[in-house]
Homo-oligomer: A and B are copies of this chain.
Amino acid sequence: MTAASPAPPPEPALGPSAYIVLGLLAQNGPGTSYDLKRWADESVGFFWTFPRSQLYAEPQRLSALGLLQEAQEDGGRRRRTYHVTPAGLVALRAWLAQPADFPELRDLGLLKLFFSAHGEAHAVTALAAEQLALHRARLAEYERLHAHLTSCLPGPEQVQPLRMGLLYERASIAFWTEVQDGSAAPATPS
């Protein structure tokens, strides 16, 4: 490699939360960390969570990298408002173009089920009941949200993940029902 291509800073490879911040800001215009929290809570928050403090730390990292620009107000709370720079948009697009690796379920319920042989006898029943309750509640919530979204319609990309959520919840309910009904079930044809 010649001196002609000094290779721009080696790109520290941002994590998912960085792109969530970039994406949310790109979508909803400039905002503060608290705005980010509110936006996340009613959208991505449903399938990707993180503590609030990340939404203070992450924008600062991104500012340092030039992907966001920060404006701190003088009076009152001196709060920081961020907006995406052109470089930030480029980074976002680059990330969107890269292939996404495999999703992970990260389901503590499944984990406990897997090890349930070492628990109390009725542990599985309790677990199934509890998981059913959780998933039913979540399903109801998704259905509300879905109904609500189809009215104040954004682009379909923002509704689709919710549809996957619905599919997942229905599958979960089917699964835990099956578990609850005991191992009595005969061979279940695929």
Cβ-defined partner of A161 (8 Å) among B44, B95, B114, B158: B114
| Interface secondary structure of A, over-half rule | helix
Task: Report chain B residues within 8 Å CB of A114.
Answer: 23, 43-44, 157-158, 160-161
Q: Mark A154-190, 1 if CB is under 8 A from B, else 0.
A: 0111101101111110111011001100010000101
Q: Given contacts A16-B108, A110-B164, A111-B161, could you give 6 more A-B pairs where the C-beta distance is less than 8 Å?
A: A23-B115, A100-B107, A107-B164, A143-B190, A164-B172, A167-B174
Instruction: Provide a sorted-by-A list of 19 A–B residue pairs whose CB atoms are within 8 angstroms.
Output: A16-B108, A23-B111, A23-B114, A27-B115, A48-B104, A93-B120, A96-B120, A97-B123, A100-B111, A105-B106, A105-B164, A113-B161, A117-B155, A117-B158, A156-B183, A167-B174, A168-B168, A168-B171, A170-B171
